Amino acid sequence: MTQPRIGLIGLGTMGRALALNIAENAEPLAVYNRTTEKTDDFIAHTKANEPALAERLTPADSLEGFVSALATPRAVIVMVDAGDPVDKVIAALRPLLNDDDLIIDAGNANFHDTNRRAAAAESEGWPFIGMGVSGGEEGARHGPSIMGGGPKDHWDRVSNVLEAISAKYEGTPCATWMGKGGAGHFVKAVHNGIEYADMQMIAETYGIFRDGMGRDAVTIGKTFAKWNDGLLQSYLIEISGKVATATDPDSGKPMLDIILDRAGQKGTGRWTVIEAQHLGAAIPVIEAAVFARNASSRLPLRKRGEEVFGAAPMALPEGALSDEVLEGAMIAGKIMCYAQGFELLGAASVQFDWGLPMPEVARVWREGCIIRSSMLNDMADALTEAPDDTLIFAPFFRDLIVQHIPALRQTVATALSHGLPVPALSAALNWFDMIRTARSTANMIQGQRDFFGAHGFERTDRDGKDYHGPWAMNG
Ligand code: 6PG
């Protein structure tokens, strides 16, 4: 076997899957994990199950051994937990590497950390890429979506390998350089924010079916499976159908009925919301999804609330909502959510001078990642036509919104009037109603600000910025 040029550090679930993917679809590689038993276990497991791939792996039991196993110039993929562990690996690795050896952070890093690491790498004169990888274990093994950031010439050094291991959409690799510094990890964070929102809207619809219409999990799962043949076709709708129809082998009950309703989160959705606040970008559907996860985790509070105030959900009157109306509401909600995600990307692109390639972002999400869906191809087309415009104004999506807004309104109004919480779907509707209201109510906010703080306001009938109301006179 020729000496590998690529190495991978961190043999957790994602690291193992990515290593096998590289071995199978690109080239031989060296692997290393801080705990040697993990490396031994990975190699033994691969020898037993995929012996041809085991031949293409060079395990190392020390960082020094790992580095010397690699032909120069090296490329080292770091796949460890985001945060301090990445800094520790880089600090240990750098003294062992040459100046032109490339380090690639492929974890779910906060893009601020990636910006910081990229700046350090640039000033110290060594190559670094921060890259978001989406698709879970299955994606990492058989084709993830890859969003890269850092100097373009460093990306170009490994782009053939990254394209080879990535998912393909009709033959086009889903591996794209997004911009300098933390651009790739930022795009990945927005992906995850949209992931949270898509999941939440599906969960809300599940809640309407379950609590409003009294449907069982299997029936709901079959509806999701049916929707997966239409405009909502997506990985998340598909797996929601599978989750809902699965049976718990222990109890024989629907699996979904046994799963505790307390959602976890590693933080990327929250980062997206925090960053949107810094940038002044409106992403209420994603915010609502993060709120709903936070609320879900407060189980004792919710139990007490139900004891004190009574359960909120009430059965809907027969025929109040149909499957078609709910499907339409989801279509409208989904378009709003993606429009907001792309607006946030646009705001960040300007703020950080990234020049994010908007149509390419939509393209790289078409396959391999968790939010892959047929609608993303239409979004790529719309963003190719008008990269800086809000997605809902593209003719294709404008027509869909005109068609499905009544369904979203009917769904939200019906659900809320029966105590069924739909934070993400209602955030989508509120956002839509706000942005199609040319004369908003912020004149009242401006009047209030001027009254208590003399902050000044603009007038509708004159130019200039610093007008004041007659409040002083009135006391
Ligand atoms: C992906 C996912 C992945 C994410 C997990 C868990 O694109 O493959 O977004 O990166 O980390 O899905 O995320 P939460 O724990 O925050 O739900």
Q: What is the CATH number of the domain that holds 463?
A: 1.20.5.320
Domain annotation covers residue 123: yes
Asked if residue 7 has its Cβ within 6 Å of ligand 1, the reply is no
Asked if residue 198 has its Cβ within 6 Å of ligand 1, the reply is no
Asked if residue 370 has its Cβ within 6 Å of ligand 1, the reply is yes
pTM: predicted TM-score of the whole model, two decimal places: 0.96
Instruction: Taking the CA atoms of 1, 70, 149 and 283 in sequence, report the sign of the dihedral they define.
Output: positive
Which of 18, 79, 108 has most ligand 1 atoms within 8 Å of its beta carbon, as the pocket-test mutant?
Answer: 108
Q: Could you give phi then psi for residue 375, rounded to 5 degrees? A: -65, -25
Closest CA to 284 of 454, 114, 435, 77: 435
Tokens of 366: 């078409």
Domain that holds residue 11: 6-181
21 and 159 co-located in one domain: yes
- Helices marked H in 69-216 — which ranges? 84-93, 111-124, 136-142, 152-165, 183-207
Looking at residue 475, what is its pLDDT?
Answer: 53
Cα-to-centroid distance, 84 and ligand 1 (Å): 19
Of the candidate ranges 75-79, 386-390, 425-429, 459-463, the one whose mean pLDDT is the lowest: 386-390
Q: Which residue's CA lies nearest to atom 1 of ligand 1? A: 134
Give the number of domains in the chain.
3
Domain annotation covers residue 407: yes
Query: Using one digit for the tens of pLDDT, what is the confidence trace for 3-55?
Result: 999 999 999 999 999 999 999 999 999 999 999 999 999 999 999 999 999 99
Asked if residue 12 has its Cβ within 6 Å of ligand 1, the reply is no
398 and 282 co-located in one domain: yes
Last residue of a domain, one of 181, 207, 240: 181
Looking at residue 1, what is its pLDDT?
Answer: 64
What percent of the chain has pLDDT above 90? Answer: 96
Asked if residue 268 has its Cβ within 6 Å of ligand 1, the reply is yes
Whether 60 contacts 39, CB under 8 Å: yes
Q: Which residue's CA lies nearest to atom 14 of ligand 1? A: 265
Tokens of 59: 């395990």
162 and 244 co-located in one domain: no
Looking at residue 311, what is its pLDDT?
Answer: 87
Find the mean pLDDT for residues 49-78: 97
Looking at residue 321, what is its pLDDT?
Answer: 98
Asked if residue 219 has its Cβ within 6 Å of ligand 1, the reply is no
Find the mean pLDDT for residues 295-299: 95
**CA pair distance 190, 193, nearest whole angstrom:** 5
102 and 235 co-located in one domain: no
Residues 6+ apart with CB under 8 A from 344: 190, 193, 272, 275, 276, 279, 281, 283
Residue 179, helix vs strand vs coil = strand
Q: Which residue's CA lies nearest to atom 9 of ligand 1? A: 192
Q: Omega before 127 cis (within 30°)?
A: no
Last residue of a domain, one of 126, 149, 181: 181
Last residue of a domain, one of 127, 161, 181: 181
Whether 43 contacts 57, CB under 8 Å: yes
Instruction: Using CB atoms within 10 Å of the CB of residue 30, give its burial: 0 to 12 exposed, 13 to 18 middle, 19+ buried.
Output: buried
Domain annotation covers residue 313: yes
Domain annotation covers residue 1: no
Mind telling me the catalytic residues? 188, 195
Q: pLDDT class for 313, splitting at 50, 70, 90?
A: confident
Q: Could you give phi then psi for residue 433, rounded to 5 degrees? A: -65, -35
